[in-house]
Amino acid sequence: MASRLLRIGLIPGDGIGKEVIPAGRRVLEALPSSLGLKFEFTDLKAGFETFEKTGAALPDKTVEVLKSDCDGALFGAVSSPSKAVKGYSSPIVALRKKLDLYANVRPVKSVGTARTPIDMVIVRENTEDLYVKEERTFDAADGSGKVAEAIKRISERASYRIATMAGNIAVRRQRIRELSPHQKFVHSSPLVTITHKSNVLSQTDGLFRSTARAALADLEAAGTVAVEEQIVDSMVYKLFRQPEAYDVIVAPNLYGDILSDGAAALVGSLGLVPSANVGEKFAIGEPCHGSAPDIMGQNIANPIATLRSTALMLEFLGEDAAAARIYAAVDANLEEARLLSPDLGGTAKTDEVVEDILRRL
């Protein structure tokens, strides 16, 4: 069998990104040869440290190489200053726009003997909403002080394709359940929950709601996928009270960002939660945690979010079998709970966790 060559860009970014992205490379290199995969890696620059050195948070060369020489990429973390810095903007947000990575896909799964079984995927629209970063500050006409405004942009095109992806993910998850009858799953049938605030934002969130409904109408009519809606504030409450009720959640950019970080608390740590930035032809695996400068260089960062993000990238590159190997090795590590990083209450070093998972491959 001929091997498939995958060319992967590695963008550590800032802080602990430099410690966890090498773990993603190692797990790819350790995959069994029987899977028929080979990898080539390219080291690329982006982040606040890069901005301080070069004046560009996302160098043109990084984008050019990703477009011309890579099939996918792994992105570590970025340090975003709390105060505005002239000329600086988030490189991962810019990458999503430049590569049209319109979906941020974030699985949240409990493992082992968790009190509440959780197995959901949050599908977050990735290109618009408040993240278009169109803001302005001006003096109020009545002299009462300054006023700051931000544009919230929702389009029919973006809403339709993100809801379509959510429906496709729900169908694929159900297919995996049916092909694995020996495993226990939280959900017995696919469900997509549309999250919005159209009772207040009737124009923007109203368009997202109606367009998502239209995108999922055929799947719903055929009985393939059940569809429901949830107002975002109520969604937050129910997410924490009954997380087992949710399968696939689709949301505009801001709500998806908040919900996915909140959901991470349900499984113990952001260090466990992966994501993928996905377009029609490209996928970037990205752990959900930040750059964590307080633990940088101590070899205690949890690598599991990155390893799961690596597997998620492989899924969207069509390599489900390789992804499954990584997921199984990670789950086995967590279920045994012998080598856990400090964020999970353990004492294991980053390298020790990685080595344990590599052995399980």
- Bridge-based pairing of strands 248-251 and 191-196 is parallel
Question: DSSP string covering 182-213, please?
Answer: TS--S-SS-EEEEEE-TTT-TTHHHHHHHHHH
Percent of the chain at pLDDT exceeding 90: 72
How confident is residue 320, by pLDDT bands cut at 50, 70 and 90? confident
Tokens of 81: 């200053």
Structure tokens at 131: 């993240």
Summarize pLDDT for 206-232 with one digit per residue, the tens: 999 999 999 999 999 999 999 999 999
Query: Once rounded to an integer, what is the mean pLDDT over residues 236-241?
Result: 93
Q: In this predicted model, which residue has the larger pLDDT, 202 or 127?
A: 202
* Burial zone of 360 (CB within 10 Å; 0-12 exposed, 13-18 middle, 19+ buried): middle
Name every residue whose Cβ is closer than 8 Å to that of residue 60 and which is 6 or more positions away in sequence. none
Distance of CA 228 to the CA centre of its chain: 22
pLDDT at 260: 87
Give CA–CA dist 178/311, Å, rounded.
21
pLDDT surpassing 80 at residue 177:
no
What pLDDT is attached to residue 328?
86
pLDDT beyond 60 at 113: no
User: Residue 74 forms beta bridges with which residues?
Assistant: 10, 285
- Lowest-pLDDT range of 18-22, 45-49, 107-111, 227-231: 107-111
Give the tens place of pLDDT for each residue, 123-132.
999 889 998 8
Could you tell me if 8 and 73 are in contact, meaning their C-beta atoms sit under 8 angstroms apart? yes
The residue written with tokens 């984008």 in the block is 63
- In this predicted structure, the answer to whether residue 199 has a pLDDT above a threshold of 90 is yes
Q: What is the per-residue pLDDT across 267-312, written as a single tens digit (0 to 9) for each?
A: 877 888 899 999 988 999 999 888 999 999 999 999 999 999 999 9
Q: What is the mean pLDDT of residues 133-139?
A: 94
The reported pTM is: 0.86
Q: Are 156 and 211 in contact (CB under 8 A)?
A: yes
As a dihedral over the C-alpha atoms of residue 130, residue 132, residue 191, residue 105, rounded to 10 degrees, the angle is -120
Over the chain, what is the mean pLDDT? 92
